[in-house]
Amino acid sequence: MDEKQAAAHAMVDRVFRTEARRVKATLIRLLGDFDLAEEALQDAFVAALHDWPRQGVPDKPRPWLVSAGRFKAIDKLRRRARFDASLEELAWRMEQDAEAPEAVAPELEDDRLRLVFTCCHPVLPADAQVALTLREVCGLTTEAIASAYLTAVPALAQRIVRAKNRIRETRIPYTVPERHELPARLESVLRVVYLVFNEGYFASSGDSLLRADLSAEAIRLGRLLGELLPAPEVLGLLALMLLVESRRPARIGTDGQPVLLEEQDRRLWDAGLIAEGLPLVEAALRAGPAGPYALQAAIAAVHAEAPDAGATDWAQIVGLYDVLLQMAPSPVVALNRAVAVAMRDGPATGLALVDGLLAAGELADYGLAHSARADLCRRLGRRDEARAAYARALALSRQEPERRFLAARLAALDLS
């Protein structure tokens, strides 16, 4: 292989790493089929490996790849049409559309946003939205997604296949919703991104507390949404993820166990992520009435600005939780508020609130509620109650590092 060929091959490899997801998103829009677009993507890069060393690298590699992939798909459909006549008409329509210069070139970046909205369409079940977004937008393998959510690979693959079939059968358009449809549709997209981030930042089960790949993909999606659709709640969610993610270096101790927020060495927090997130909080709050994500981001900002837990403005955090609880009432938000009240007014006041939430029943099987109660009882010297609450939290946990942390807290009580 001569120097020119080696340079072309290196360029193909570099373009694949940086542009493959964008090219695939455009091919999905143009071809209207996920699997056909996947084949077209692979064919386009094979063509690039063949043509670029001989003809030179095009000035605009991405449109070249989109065009190559599209015409490869049309050729495949024509060959398959010998067995299925309906494909001949589909190939003909694609070929006619391809003659319009605006079919491929315009706003290729927007195709990723269209794909996000398609994968998160409300006609799809919530679990399918998450799986399809991770597979088709984030590029995670089916095996990686199944591992993250403790699902068998065949079951996860079937979930994705059913979602693709549903999109095709119901003719869900590959578009960003019209303005009047946007609030409802955007809510679905943000919820999926938020779920992906949470699973990465605090895995629901398994041997690892953190899934950095999932958190990174959620933040990547958040940045994309922020660039292409800078609505207040989009900015709020991105800010929230950045500020929470900044704590990752301090979340795991040298023993591999989780470190509580108030005990973290804040010198380890990522200053770059904080510097990116704080202005986004301000922008989200200025842009319009604060929504749930913007309010949570504001709470994260108060933590980020405090040098340590003792210097945290807990009164402000409780006030923000008061607003959040009115806007988006949930027992988990109420629990977080109770913990903040405990920090502001003392453990006894917080414990009374936690006990009231547990008595209501909705958090009876929520391990973090019992671990919060255990910690407050421990601070108050109520060791028997703390021991029982830690044991209940341990029984509910499916997360190995968290289980080790709770077991250590239980052992410490027994030794004291």
C-beta of residue 237 within 8 angstroms of C-beta of residue 280: no
Whole-number pLDDT of residue 322? 97
Cα angle value 31/34/35 (rounded, 5°): 100
C-beta of residue 229 within 8 angstroms of C-beta of residue 257: no
High-pLDDT (> 90) share of the chain, %: 44
C-beta of residue 258 within 8 angstroms of C-beta of residue 251: yes
Query: Concatenated DSSP letters for 27-40?
Result: HHHHHS-HHHHHHH
**How sure is the predictor about 379, in pLDDT bands with cuts at 50, 70 and 90?**
very high
Q: Which residues pair with 399 in a beta bridge?
A: 206
- CA-CA distance, 240 to 237, in Å (whole number)? 5
**How sure is the predictor about 390, in pLDDT bands with cuts at 50, 70 and 90?**
very high
C-beta of residue 40 within 8 angstroms of C-beta of residue 69: yes
Higher pLDDT: 85 or 199? It is 199
Whole-number pLDDT of residue 312? 95
Mean pLDDT of 277-290: 92
Q: Which residue has the tokens 């080790």?
A: 404
List, for residues 305-318, the tens digit of each pLDDT value: 999 888 999 999 99
C-beta of residue 294 within 8 angstroms of C-beta of residue 233: yes
Predicted TM-score (pTM) of this structure: 0.77
The region that residue 336 occupies, defined by phi over 0 for left and psi between -120 and 50 for alpha, beta otherwise, is alpha
Name the amino acid, one letter, at 16: F
- When the pLDDT of each residue in the chain is averaged and rounded to a whole number, the result is 86
- CA-CA distance, 185 to 192, in Å (whole number)? 11
C-beta of residue 393 within 8 angstroms of C-beta of residue 406: yes
Measured between alpha carbons, how far is residue 414 from residues 220, 259, 391, 402, 410 in Å?
A: 45, 21, 12, 19, 6
List, for residues 87-130, the tens digit of each pLDDT value: 555 554 555 454 444 444 444 457 877 888 889 888 899 889 98
- CA-CA distance, 64 to 48, in Å (whole number)? 9
Least confident interval from 127-136, 140-149, 252-261, 383-392: 140-149
Helix (H, G, I), strand (E, B) or coil at 152: coil
Instruction: Say yes or no to pLDDT of 40 above 50.
Output: yes
What tokens appear for 313 in the block?
A: 């403005």
Q: Which residues pair with 258 in a beta bridge?
A: 252
Contacts of 217 (CB under 8 A, 6+ apart): 134, 138, 140, 196, 200
CATH number of 3-107: 1.10.1740
Would you call 166 exposed, middle or buried from its count of C-beta atoms within 10 A (0-12, 13-18, 19+)?
Answer: middle
Would you call 350 exposed, middle or buried from its count of C-beta atoms within 10 A (0-12, 13-18, 19+)?
Answer: buried
Radius of gyration of the chain (CA): 25
C-beta of residue 243 within 8 angstroms of C-beta of residue 274: yes
Measured between alpha carbons, how far is residue 313 from residues 108, 301, 348 in Å?
A: 45, 11, 19
List, for residues 259-274, the tens digit of each pLDDT value: 889 899 999 999 999 9
Whole-number pLDDT of residue 114? 85
Higher pLDDT: 273 or 74? It is 273
- CA-CA distance, 69 to 62, in Å (whole number)? 11
Instruction: Say yes or no to pLDDT of 277 above 50.
Output: yes
Helix (H, G, I), strand (E, B) or coil at 157: helix
Q: Which residue has the tokens 């964008």?
A: 22
- CA-CA distance, 98 to 67, in Å (whole number)? 8
- CA-CA distance, 254 to 17, in Å (whole number)? 34
CB atoms within 10 A of CB 111: 22
- CA-CA distance, 195 to 132, in Å (whole number)? 13
Query: Concatenated DSSP letters for 273-314?
Result: HHHHHHHHHHHHHHHSS--HHHHHHHHHHHHHH-SSGGGS-H
Measured between alpha carbons, how far is residue 310 from residues 216, 260, 264, 344 in Å?
A: 30, 14, 12, 10
Contacts of 311 (CB under 8 A, 6+ apart): none
Whole-number pLDDT of residue 364? 92
